[in-house]
Amino acid sequence: MEYNSILENLLQKRSKDKVLEFDNSNQTVALRIISIGIVISCYIYFKYTIKSAVGYIQHKNLNFLFPFVAAAFAFANNANDIAHFIYHPDNCYIFYTLFKASATLNWAPLSWLTTFRLSLISKIYLSKSKFYFITIISIILSALYCGSYFLNLNQFKYEFVEFMGCGVTNDSKYIYFVMIFDIIDSLFSLGAICIIIYNALKNLKELNTKNEKLSNLVSEGILELIIITIAKIIIYPLISVTSYQPAFDIFWDVLSVTIIYFSYQMVNFPYQNNQMEKNIGRKLFSFIGSKIKGIKTLVSSGSNVNDNDNSSYKIKKLDNNKFHTINIDETRENPSLYGLSL
């Protein structure tokens, strides 16, 4: 009898072992990768929340509040995902409420940051008509983007996911309006900064030290706007393809991390001492400048542009009621950007 009971227990154990299966389907593996990505992006959001807060406290520059608000709300959004991944609730309504609340200001502030910076730079550097044109169009595009974003946010639905606990889905048409208006807004901002560079080169002889600092800041903004625009063009189609699947919002995080990082770099650029990034911005500005000067030379052969020496320029500076000629050598480090609060 004892032998039969042992044999019966052994057979039951073997039958249980046969029932045990490992789920390594594509969807399960993808969800595991997403959970890792959520944790990593949550750390990045927390990092730039702190860095933006410290930047505002140190430099008293209101521009730091834009990445601070965006990073803080994005951190709250991912912290909500992680909390409900650790503990699966019976009802996902609380998760859904926290998701919508934390998603309200994790994108919109960065769109208005670009509008705010463009308005300030164009007011300093462009004529009144161009300043009003760029500011009005930028405000309209940001408003259209934010409007479509909030309409799209209201279309999210929640459901229980076995692996993640709770997740959201969205199959509305507004997501395409979000993508279109956001990409158009970024392209317009990029074009507006190119206009500012063109005006800087056209009036190069009238540049003073402040304008030289401004051109360096503008050149760095171009590099970041190019990267942000390319990221949006690549990642938005992936978002539209996976938006209907629950808990597959990792591509939102990838794009959000990219935008928050480069937005913080745009704000913090005047205060950082990164030689490599400054050189990249200055070389990009010089490259664009040399191309525009070359085009002007071909169009106007009688101009006095010196094509043999693109590394230095001469400007006039008023000092003690007398004009002095100053040589600006692009091969040397540009003047410090400290104190320029744009």
- The per-residue pLDDT for range 82-91, each reduced to its tens digit, is 888 888 888 8
Amino acid identity of residue 68, one-letter, is F
Residue 86: how many other CB atoms lie within 10 Å: 8
Residue 36: how many other CB atoms lie within 10 Å: 10
Of 223, 243, 248, the closest CA to residue 81 belongs to 248
Instruction: Mark 5-33 as b/e (b = at least 16 C-beta within 10 Å).
Output: eeeeeeeeeeeeeeeeeeeeeeeeebbee
**pLDDT surpassing 70 at residue 61:** yes
Average pLDDT, integer, range 100-112 = 90
What does the pLDDT read at residue 269?
77
**pLDDT surpassing 80 at residue 64:** yes
**pLDDT surpassing 90 at residue 146:** yes
Calculate the average pLDDT of the chain: 74
Min mean pLDDT across 59-73, 89-103, 108-122, 286-300 is at 286-300
Highest mean pLDDT among 19-23, 61-65, 284-288, 308-312: 61-65
Of 91, 137, 98, 82, the closest CA to residue 114 belongs to 137
Work out the pLDDT band at 316, boundaries 50, 70, 90. very low
Q: What is the 3-state secondary structure (H, E, C) of the chain?
A: CHHHHHHHHHHHHHHHHHHCCCCCCHHHHHHHHHHHHHHHHHHHHHHHHHHHHHHHHHHCCHHHHHHHHHHHHHHHHHHHHHHHHHCCCCCCHHHHHHHHHHCCCCCHHHHHHHHHHHHHHHHHHCCHHHHHHHHHHHHHHHHHHHHHHHHHHCCCEEEEECCCEEEEECCCCHHHHHHHHHHHHHHHHHHHHHHHHHHHHHCHHHCCHHHHHHHHHHHHHHHHHHHHHHHHHHHHHHHHHHCCCCCCCHHHHHHHHHHHHHHHHHHHHHHCCCHHHHHHHHHHHHHHHHHHHHHHHHHCCCCCCCCCCCCEEEEEEEECCEEEEEEEECCCCCCCCCCCCC
Min mean pLDDT across 22-26, 31-35, 132-136, 266-270 is at 22-26
Cα 308 to Cα 43, 132, 285, 311, 315, distances in angstroms: 51, 38, 18, 9, 18
Highest mean pLDDT among 12-16, 197-201, 212-216: 197-201
What does the pLDDT read at residue 201?
65
pLDDT in tens, 251-287: 888 899 999 999 898 888 777 765 454 555 555 555 5
Work out the pLDDT band at 217, boundaries 50, 70, 90. low
Q: How far apart are CA 212 and CA 286, in angstroms?
A: 12
Percent of the chain scoring above 70 in pLDDT: 63
Average pLDDT, integer, range 69-79 = 94
Highest mean pLDDT among 21-30, 109-118, 313-322: 109-118
Of 158, 163, 35, the closest CA to residue 98 belongs to 158
What does the pLDDT read at residue 235?
86
Q: Which residue has the higher pLDDT, 212 or 338?
A: 212
What does the pLDDT read at residue 218?
58
